[in-house]
Amino acid sequence: MGIRRFRTCLPLVAGLMGMLMPVIPVMAQGGSDERASADRPWMNTSLSPDERADLVLKQMTLDEKIGLLHGTGMAHTPNWQTPLTYLSNGGAGMTVGVERLGIPNIYMSDAAYGVRSSGENGRYSTALPSNLGAASSWNTEAACEYGALIGRELRAQGYNMTLGGGVNLTREPRNGRTFEYMGEDPLLAGTMVGNLMKCEQAEHVIGDIKHYAINDQETGRNIVNAVISKKAMQETDLLAFHIGINIGNPAAVMCSYNRINGDYACENKYTLTDVLKGEWGFKGFVLSDWGGTHSTEKASAAGLDNEQPMDHYFGPKLKAAVDAGRVPMSEIDDHAHRVLRSMFLSGLVDYPIEKSVVDVERGLDTAQHIEEQSIVLLKNDKGILPLNASRVKSIAIIGGHADVGMISGGGSAQVDPPGGNAIMPPGQGATHWQEHIWFPTSPLKALKAALPGAKIEFNAGTDLSSAAALAKSSDIAIVFASQWLSEGMDLPSLSLPDNQNALIDAVAKANPRTIVVLETGTAVTMPWLGDVAGVVEAWYAGSRGHIALANVLTGEVNATGKLAMTFPKSEQDLPRPVIAPLTKEDEGQGNGAVNGPDHVASKYSVSYDEGVKVGYKWYEAEHKQPLFPFGFGLSYTTYSYSDLKTDSGQKIVSFTVKNTGKRAGAEVAEVYAQLPEAAGENFQRLVGWQRVDLGPGESKTVSVTVDPQMLSVFDEQSNGWQLLKGQYRILAGPSSAETPLKGTIEIK
Ligand code: BGC
C-alpha cells in the first residue's frame, strides 16, 4: 500500500468520503532543495524548526490545523477505523499532513524492541533484546545502536514516527510491561532511553517517550488513579522522563492511560503543562495513548496536543469548541505548532520516506551484540561457567522449548518472528496481541554448534522423572525457564509459572551441576537457588538470542551485564505484597486498550506510599535483603577497586578499576551517594557509572562527573529542586550492595 497506491485511488476516495476529507493526505516527494521556493519559505533548512513551523502555520486553515491534532484510526483493529485508516501503512496510527504545503503524513508504528506488526504487513523486523535487557548492559552506545536500528527499520517499512521509548520506572515488578521499560533507577533508565531516542530520531523518525506518567501497573490501567506526592513523582518516575528528554530531545511524549492524583494523564495540567512544557521546557507534542483521551476542552487546556488513534475529542468536537469560543485559537496554534516543529526537527519534511529492504544481516549482528552485553550472570559456583569445551562431555538441555526457540514479550511491543511462532505448527502465527510467541532461536542448536565435541540431548521437561534421569546421566544440566509478560496484564506473582520450579528442583536434585537459564521479562523468585550451581538471566533475548547466549555460556564472550532492577526474595518484600484487584464494577474494563468515550468514572486507585523509595532504595531503607541487588552481575574475570578521590567543586569522583583475572572483560563501575541528614533519606542513590573495557591485568581510572541534579531533592514548598549544603557520602563499587570505596563530597 502506501503513497503510490493512494495517489491512484484518490479521486474515488475523495468522492466517497468528501465530507471527511478537508485535507488530502498525499505526502510530497523529492528533496528539500527542489521544494524550497518563495512560496514555501519553510523549506529553508537554515531556519530553526520553530521558525519553519511558524511560517507554515500562517498558511493553514483551521481544518488543516485540526487535522494535525488527531489520528485516523488503527490498522488491524476493526473497532478503530476511519475511511483514512487504510492509508496508515499498516501501523498503529496516522496523522494526516497538509499536502498543499508539503507537510507529510505522520505514519506511526509501535517499536519497543523492534518494529511491530511486520508479519501482518508482510514485512520483516529485527527483534532486539527486551528494553530491560538492554538496560542491563548499562552501555549508552548499545542504547544508541538499539535506537538507530529501530529508526532504520521504521523508515525502511514506510514509517516516520516511533511509538517506543518506554521509561516507566519499575515501581511494581509484576507490571506486565516491565520488559518494555528500563528498570528501576531514574538515572539509568533516563540515560538509556535518552540515548536510544537520540539515535532513533537521528534516522529521521519522530521519537516518542512513553507512557507519561506513573503508568506503573497494568491492572486497571485505563481507570486506576495513581496517588503519589509531587516530591515522589518528581524524584522518581518524572525524573527518568526528564533525563531521557534532556538527552534524547524526542519530538513527542505519549501520555498514559491512568489517572494521576485524580486527573487522567492525558488531561493532567500538572504533569503536561506545569512540569513537561513548563518546568522542563518541552517543545514537542504530546499524543495520547490509544484511546487515552477523555475530553476536548479539558485535555486541550491541560496540554494534550494530539489524540490517537481516533478523532473522538480532537476532531469535529474540537472545531466546534473553537467556533463556540470554548477553546481559544491560540491553543490550537500551539498544538499545531508543536506537531509541525517536531516534523521539522526530526527531518520528516526534509527526508521523505523511501521504503527499502530491511538490512537483515546488520540487524542480526546488532541484536546479538547487544544481547551479549545484556545477559546477566547471577550465580556461578565453582566456576561451572563458562562451559569448558575440552572437559564437558555431555549436557542435558531441559525445558523451555529450548529445542525450538526462546520466548518473547507480548502486547503492542511484540515483534513478529520470521517463520512464525516456533512452538506452533508452520503457518500458524500470532493471531492475538497476547499470544505467547517463541522466536525460532533454538539454544539447543546454538549450543550444539558451539560445542561440537559434547553429547547434547534435549528433554522437554514436561515429565519430571525423565528430565531428572537425563540430568543424572549428563555431566551438566541446563534448565531453560521462561516467564511470559505482556501489556494489559500483571503477573499474579514473581514465581516461575507452569511447574517450572518443581522441574528445576527435580533436575538439581539429580545433578548438582545444574545451570538455570532464565528467559524473563522481570524478576523471578528462586526457591531453588541454593541447589543449583549457575543462574544466567537472558531476558527476552531477541532475534539472535540463542547465539549470544551460547557465546556467553561457552565463554566466547565474557558476561558483563548487571541488573537494572532488584530481584526480591519474595513478593512479601515488595511495597505492596499484592496488587489490589479490580472491584466488581470495574472488572473487564480495566486492562485493555478499550477505554471508550462512555467509560464510567472508577474508584480504583493505588497509593504509591513508598514514595521516592523505588527499587533498591526501598530494600535498603526497609532493611530487606534482596535475592539479587540492583546493579549486580558476575563476570568470568575479577575486578578490584581502589584509590577513590573526590573533587567537591567539580563534583568528580575518580577511582581505579583493575581486571585481576585472566580474561578480558567489561566492568560496570557504579557510584552512589548518600545525601546529608537534612534530606531525610536512609538509602543511597545511583549518581553515575562507567562501563570500562579491561584486558587481563589492566587498570583504568574511572572518572564520573556527578550531575548536581542527581544530588538534589525536590521541595514541594518552593516547588523546585534544592542542592542541600553538607557532606555527601560517596560510595563506589560493582553493585548497589557492594561499594568498597567510600569518600565524601562537600557542598558549601
Ligand atoms: C499501548 C501503547 C501503544 C499503543 C498503540 C496502547 O495499547 O499502551 O504503548 O503505543 O497501544 O499500539
Burial class (CB in 10 A: 0-12, 13-18, 19+), 727: middle
Gap from CA of 176 to ligand 1 centroid (Å): 13
Distance set, CA 748 to CA 639, 651, 682, 714, 724 (Å) = 35, 12, 22, 19, 9
Q: For ligand 1, say whether the CB of 593 is within 6 Å of any of its atoms.
A: yes
pLDDT of residue 37: 83
The single-letter DSSP state of residue 484 is -
Classify strands 476-482 and 514-519 as parallel, antiparallel or unpaired.
Answer: parallel
Q: Which three cell numbers stand for residue 316?
A: 469535529
The single-letter DSSP state of residue 278 is I
Gap from CA of 287 to ligand 1 centroid (Å): 11
C-alpha 698: how far from chain center: 34
Please give the average pLDDT of every successive group of 10 residues along the chain, which has 748 residues: 28 33 38 68 97 98 98 93 96 98 98 95 96 98 98 98 97 98 98 98 98 96 95 98 98 97 97 98 98 96 98 98 98 98 98 96 98 98 95 97 97 92 74 86 98 97 98 98 96 97 98 98 98 98 98 98 98 97 75 52 91 98 98 98 98 98 98 98 98 98 98 98 98 98 98
Q: For ligand 1, say whether the CB of 210 is within 6 Å of any of its atoms.
A: yes
**Atom 6 in ligand 1: which residue has the minimum CA distance?**
290
The HSE-up count of residue 131 (CA atoms within 13 Å, CB side) is 38
Residue with cell 494489559: 488
CB 138 within 8 A of CB 195: no
d(CA 256, CA 710) in angstroms, rounded, equals 26
pLDDT of residue 199: 98
CB-based contacts of 611, cutoff 8 Å, min separation 6: 228, 229, 231, 232, 236
CB 172 within 8 A of CB 490: yes
Whole-structure pTM over 0.75, yes or no? yes
Classify strands 685-694 and 394-398 as parallel, antiparallel or unpaired.
Answer: unpaired
Atom of ligand 1 nearest to the CA of 413: 9
d(CA 75, CA 52) in angstroms, rounded, equals 31
Gap from CA of 363 to ligand 1 centroid (Å): 24
Gap from CA of 290 to ligand 1 centroid (Å): 6
Q: For ligand 1, say whether the CB of 92 is within 6 Å of any of its atoms.
A: yes
Q: For ligand 1, say whether the CB of 252 is within 6 Å of any of its atoms.
A: no
**Atom 8 in ligand 1: which residue has the minimum CA distance?**
289
Gap from CA of 679 to ligand 1 centroid (Å): 38
Q: Which three cell numbers stand for residue 516?
A: 538455570
pLDDT of residue 391: 92
Q: For ligand 1, say whether the CB of 167 is within 6 Å of any of its atoms.
A: no
Candidate of 154, 258, 290, 485 to mutate for ligand 1, largest count of ligand atoms within 8 Å of Cβ: 290
pLDDT of residue 586: 78
**Atom 2 in ligand 1: which residue has the minimum CA distance?**
289
d(CA 342, CA 50) in angstroms, rounded, equals 9
Atom of ligand 1 nearest to the CA of 93: 5
Q: Which three cell numbers stand for residue 671?
A: 557510584
Gap from CA of 74 to ligand 1 centroid (Å): 11
d(CA 27, CA 350) in angstroms, rounded, equals 12
Q: For ligand 1, say whether the CB of 289 is within 6 Å of any of its atoms.
A: yes
CB-based contacts of 649, cutoff 8 Å, min separation 6: none
Atom of ligand 1 nearest to the CA of 210: 9
